[in-house]
Protein backbone atom coordinates (compact mmCIF):
# COMPACT_ATOMS: atom_id res chain seq x y z
CA UNK A 1 0.00 0.00 0.00
CA UNK A 2 1.03 3.61 -0.32
CA UNK A 3 2.76 5.35 2.54
CA UNK A 4 0.11 6.51 4.99
CA UNK A 5 1.08 8.82 7.82
CA UNK A 6 -1.07 8.31 10.88
CA UNK A 7 -1.44 11.00 13.57
CA UNK A 8 0.49 11.05 16.83
CA UNK A 9 -2.67 10.08 18.74
CA UNK A 10 -2.75 6.81 16.83
CA UNK A 11 0.70 5.91 18.14
CA UNK A 12 -0.48 6.74 21.67
CA UNK A 13 -3.26 4.19 21.08
CA UNK A 14 -0.68 1.67 19.85
CA UNK A 15 1.28 2.10 23.09
CA UNK A 16 -1.89 1.66 25.14
CA UNK A 17 -2.83 -1.47 23.16
CA UNK A 18 0.61 -2.99 23.66
CA UNK A 19 0.48 -2.24 27.40
CA UNK A 20 -2.88 -4.04 27.54
CA UNK A 21 -4.64 -0.78 28.40
CA UNK A 22 -7.42 -1.76 26.05
CA UNK A 23 -10.10 0.59 27.37
CA UNK A 24 -7.77 3.59 27.14
CA UNK A 25 -6.79 2.47 23.63
CA UNK A 26 -10.48 2.36 22.73
CA UNK A 27 -10.98 5.93 23.95
CA UNK A 28 -7.92 7.20 22.08
CA UNK A 29 -8.69 5.49 18.79
CA UNK A 30 -12.42 6.14 18.94
CA UNK A 31 -11.75 9.89 18.86
CA UNK A 32 -9.73 9.36 15.66
CA UNK A 33 -12.29 6.96 14.18
CA UNK A 34 -15.17 9.43 14.62
CA UNK A 35 -13.34 12.08 12.55
CA UNK A 36 -11.70 9.74 10.02
CA UNK A 37 -12.62 9.04 6.42
CA UNK A 38 -11.94 5.87 4.46
CA UNK A 39 -9.63 4.02 4.32
CA UNK A 40 -8.38 5.09 7.77
CA UNK A 41 -11.86 4.86 9.31
CA UNK A 42 -12.19 1.11 8.72
CA UNK A 43 -8.56 0.55 9.80
CA UNK A 44 -9.15 2.34 13.11
CA UNK A 45 -12.41 0.45 13.59
CA UNK A 46 -10.72 -2.92 13.09
CA UNK A 47 -8.06 -2.17 15.68
CA UNK A 48 -10.71 -0.77 18.03
CA UNK A 49 -12.71 -3.97 17.75
CA UNK A 50 -9.70 -6.15 18.51
CA UNK A 51 -8.85 -3.90 21.50
CA UNK A 52 -12.42 -4.09 22.82
CA UNK A 53 -12.42 -7.85 22.24
CA UNK A 54 -9.30 -8.10 24.41
CA UNK A 55 -10.93 -5.82 27.00
CA UNK A 56 -13.97 -8.13 27.11
CA UNK A 57 -11.68 -11.14 27.44
CA UNK A 58 -9.90 -9.52 30.40
CA UNK A 59 -13.34 -9.15 32.01
CA UNK A 60 -14.15 -12.82 31.31
CA UNK A 61 -16.79 -11.89 28.73
CA UNK A 62 -16.16 -14.79 26.35
CA UNK A 63 -18.97 -13.97 23.93
CA UNK A 64 -18.03 -10.28 23.65
CA UNK A 65 -14.41 -11.24 23.06
CA UNK A 66 -15.22 -13.78 20.36
CA UNK A 67 -17.63 -11.48 18.52
CA UNK A 68 -15.40 -8.39 18.54
CA UNK A 69 -12.19 -10.24 17.71
CA UNK A 70 -13.96 -11.78 14.73
CA UNK A 71 -15.33 -8.44 13.54
CA UNK A 72 -11.96 -6.72 13.92
CA UNK A 73 -10.20 -9.50 12.03
CA UNK A 74 -12.70 -9.17 9.21
CA UNK A 75 -12.31 -5.40 8.98
CA UNK A 76 -8.52 -5.49 8.88
CA UNK A 77 -8.11 -8.30 6.34
CA UNK A 78 -7.95 -5.90 3.37
CA UNK A 79 -5.11 -3.88 4.95
CA UNK A 80 -2.50 -6.65 4.67
CA UNK A 81 0.42 -6.88 4.66
CA UNK A 82 0.85 -3.49 6.35
CA UNK A 83 -0.84 -0.14 6.70
CA UNK A 84 0.40 3.12 8.16
CA UNK A 85 3.53 1.46 9.53
CA UNK A 86 1.64 -1.36 11.31
CA UNK A 87 2.30 -5.00 10.44
CA UNK A 88 -1.33 -5.93 9.85
CA UNK A 89 -0.54 -9.50 8.81
CA UNK A 90 1.16 -10.13 12.17
CA UNK A 91 -1.71 -8.55 14.13
CA UNK A 92 -4.21 -10.70 12.24
CA UNK A 93 -2.15 -13.84 12.82
CA UNK A 94 -2.02 -13.21 16.57
CA UNK A 95 -5.71 -12.27 16.71
CA UNK A 96 -6.86 -15.31 14.71
CA UNK A 97 -4.75 -17.56 16.93
CA UNK A 98 -6.35 -16.03 20.04
CA UNK A 99 -9.85 -16.29 18.58
CA UNK A 100 -9.38 -19.95 17.61
CA UNK A 101 -8.03 -20.77 21.06
CA UNK A 102 -11.01 -19.02 22.69
CA UNK A 103 -13.41 -20.97 20.51
CA UNK A 104 -11.68 -24.23 21.44
CA UNK A 105 -11.68 -23.42 25.14
CA UNK A 106 -15.30 -22.29 25.29
CA UNK A 107 -16.99 -19.94 27.71
CA UNK A 108 -16.85 -22.37 30.63
CA UNK A 109 -13.05 -22.24 30.83
CA UNK A 110 -12.51 -18.57 30.03
CA UNK A 111 -11.30 -17.66 33.55
CA UNK A 112 -8.53 -20.28 33.48
CA UNK A 113 -7.62 -19.28 29.94
CA UNK A 114 -7.31 -15.59 30.89
CA UNK A 115 -5.16 -16.40 33.93
CA UNK A 116 -2.77 -18.36 31.71
CA UNK A 117 -2.86 -15.67 29.04
CA UNK A 118 -1.98 -12.92 31.50
CA UNK A 119 0.88 -15.02 32.88
CA UNK A 120 2.22 -15.83 29.42
CA UNK A 121 4.15 -12.60 28.83
CA UNK A 122 5.46 -13.75 25.44
CA UNK A 123 5.92 -17.41 26.38
CA UNK A 124 3.86 -20.05 24.61
CA UNK A 125 0.73 -21.05 26.47
CA UNK A 126 -1.02 -24.14 25.20
CA UNK A 127 -4.75 -23.91 25.71
CA UNK A 128 -7.29 -25.98 23.83
CA UNK A 129 -4.57 -27.31 21.56
CA UNK A 130 -3.50 -23.83 20.39
CA UNK A 131 -0.22 -22.07 21.14
CA UNK A 132 -0.98 -18.52 22.25
CA UNK A 133 1.67 -15.95 23.17
CA UNK A 134 -0.37 -13.61 25.33
CA UNK A 135 -2.61 -10.82 24.11
CA UNK A 136 -2.01 -9.55 20.55
CA UNK A 137 0.53 -6.75 20.03
CA UNK A 138 0.64 -4.01 17.43
CA UNK A 139 4.03 -4.19 15.75
CA UNK A 140 5.63 -1.84 13.31
CA UNK A 141 6.69 -3.09 9.91
CA UNK A 142 10.31 -2.46 10.93
CA UNK A 143 10.08 -4.80 13.90
What digits encode the pLDDT tens for the residues 16-59?
Answer: 999 999 999 999 999 999 999 999 999 999 999 999 999 999 99
Q: Note the pLDDT of residue 122.
A: 54
pLDDT recorded at residue 4: 87
Domain ranges, ordered by start, for the chain = 8-132
Half-sphere exposure of 92 (CA within 13 A, CB side): 19
Tell me how far apart the alpha carbons of residues 86 and 113 are, in angstroms, rounded to a whole number: 27
Whether this model's pTM surpasses 0.75: yes
Top-level class of domain 8-132: mainly alpha
Task: For residues 36 and 134, give the distance between their C-alpha atoms in angstroms, rounded to a whole number.
Answer: 30
Q: Which residue has the higher pLDDT, 5 or 3?
A: 5
Per-residue pLDDT for 70 more than 70? yes
The pLDDT of residue 129 is above 90: no
Please tell me the predicted confidence (pLDDT) of residue 124.
58
* CA distance linking residue 119 with residue 5, whole number of Å: 35
Amino acid sequence: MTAIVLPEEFWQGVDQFNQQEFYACHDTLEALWIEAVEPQKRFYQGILQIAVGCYHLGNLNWRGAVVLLGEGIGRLSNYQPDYGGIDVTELLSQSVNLLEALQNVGSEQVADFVRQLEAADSNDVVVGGEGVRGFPKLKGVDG
